[in-house]
Amino acid sequence: MDTPTPPTFWMPTGASTIAPGVDHTLDVINWICYFFFAVILALMVYFVVKYRHRKGERFRTDYPHHNTPLEIGWSILPTIIVIGIFVVGFRSYLDIYTAPKNAFDVKVTAQKWGWTFQYPNGAQSDDLYVPAGQPVRLVLRSSDVLHSLYIPDFRVKRDIVPGRYTYAWFQCDFPTGQPGKEPRNPNAARVEGALDEAQRHALFCTEYCGTGHSKMNRYVYVLDEASFGEWMQKQSRWIEDIPEDQLWFKAGPKLFARCSQCHSLDGTDGIGPSWKGIVERAKAYPFVGEGKKYGTWEDYVRTSILVPGDYVVPPYANAMPTFKGQLNDVAIDALIGYMQHLDQLDPKTGKLLPTLDPETAQPRAAGATK
């Protein structure tokens, strides 16, 4: 395949190696359906006219009797057709289910209501980044309920069942441009019939049996091998590159994006308690203080993040996933700093107030354009 297959009436752009096979199967089934639809409809109209009731006639023909050749014919012919569909479908099915041995593994965690993608070198991202021209295997797990990963352009869809690993794989040979680069037109593939240079692929959750699955919309970026390696390196280091005193506002908002489905900053109740007033609240817990279970409130927050079930804040459920192995000490420090500066954050977006300088987090001078 040299180029992605352009979108058709039924299907979006086909950008993975299995897309042609899936589309072919669909085409075969569709054409069989069109054919029989036309034949059956034509015969029906013909019979309706031919055998219509006429005045003065009680029955125009006898009751129908057996017609052995006809009955054998309409049993055998469909069986052959269905076996044909099975063969075509089974070949794609085998391709889709067996990941090649040399596949690049990405760990995917689905949770209410978002995705986390983890790469072999420890890097993590909210959107999925994959190398081009190489099979990629997604190792899927859920930290709460049933989810389902769907990448229409790759013809990949797999349920994610709590307590069980499932797998999906694909190979896309077409780099979609650099990370963070917005496509000129998000529908470019549909409009121009070919992939825009920076075209990204939509990724959805299709398990619509809860309030937030429809918000689990992300993108897939396919990078050429060199850019992908570079991206992965940078991604695993991003937080280490930030000076300590700037962590709370440079790393905090990005990290908070992983907590915001359950925690608000403005006092609104969610799946978990709002972080509004969390520092005072944590300091006042009877088990926080010198000589107590947690020496400091920071200790308590740290434990809450790594071992959420250690103390379950009433009346909330023990519903928080652990971030052990996902957030390192620097990230936890950034979050603790973030909680101490809630007054300097926009409680709606979780980002730095627009009046503060995003470089230094100092109040901006009046009229400053930065």
Cβ(52)–Cβ(41) below 8 Å: no
Give burial (CB, 10 Å; 0-12/13-18/19+) of 321: middle
Q: CB of residue 145 vs Cu ion: minimum separation in angstroms?
A: 7
Question: ∠317-319-325 over CA atoms, to 5°?
Answer: 145
Q: Choose the stretch contacting Cu ion; rule: CB under 5 A; options: 27-35, 212-220, 263-271, 346-354.
A: 212-220
**Tokens 């947690």 sit on residue:** 294
Using CB under 5 A, count the residues that bind Cu ion: 5
Whose CA is closest to 170, among 199, 201, 209?
Answer: 201
Residue placing its CB nearer to ligand HEC in the complex, 134 or 296: 296
320 binds ligand HEC (CB under 6 A): yes
- 147 sits near Cu ion (criterion: CB under 5 A): yes
Q: Which range touches ligand HEC (CB under 6 A), out of 222-230, 252-260, 288-296, 345-353? A: 252-260
Taking the complex as a whole, the smallest distance from the CB of residue 166 to ligand HEC amounts, in Å, to 21
Report the C-alpha gap between 141 and 137 in whole angstroms.
Answer: 13
Judge contact between 298 and 278, C-beta under 8 A.
no
Which DSSP helix (H) or strand (E) runs through 201?
A: strand 201-205
Q: Is 116 in the site for ligand HEC (CB under 6 A)?
A: no
CA dihedral 29, 32, 35, 39 (to 10 degrees): -120
Q: Of Cu ion, ligand HEC, none, which one does residue 308 interact with (CB within 5 to 8 Å by kind)? A: ligand HEC
Instruction: For residue 286, say if its preceding peptide bond is cis, omega within 30 degrees of 0.
Output: no
Task: Please count the other Cβ atoms lying within 10 Å of the Cβ belonging to residue 57.
Answer: 8
Question: Quick one: which of 213, 218, 258, 263 contacts Cu ion (CB under 5 A)?
Answer: 213
Q: Which stretch binds ligand HEC (CB under 6 A): 102-110, 167-175, 297-305, 353-361?
A: 297-305
Supply the minimum distance, in Å, between the C-beta of residue 365 and ligand HEC.
Answer: 33
Minimum Å gap between C-beta 207 and Cu ion is 5
Q: How far apart are CA 210 and CA 145, in angstroms?
A: 9
Phi-psi region of 129 (alpha: psi -120 to 50; beta: other; left: phi over 0): beta
Q: Which does 271 bind (CB under 5 to 8 A by kind): ligand HEC, Cu ion, none?
A: ligand HEC
Q: Which is nearer to ligand HEC, 189 or 305 (CB)?
A: 305
Q: Please pick, from the candidates 106, 247, 335, 352, the single residue that binds ligand HEC as defined by CB under 6 A.
A: 335
Q: Which CB atom, from 19 or from 265, has the smaller least distance to ligand HEC?
A: 265
- Judged by CB under 6 A, the residue of 28, 29, 194, 313 near ligand HEC is 313
Interhelix angle for 19-50 vs 68-97, to 10°?
160
> In the complex, which residues of this chain contact Cu ion (CB under 5 A)?
147, 205, 207, 213, 216
> In the complex, which residues of this chain contact ligand HEC (CB under 6 A)?
111-112, 255, 258-259, 261-263, 271-273, 278, 281-282, 301, 304-305, 308, 311-313, 316-321, 323, 335
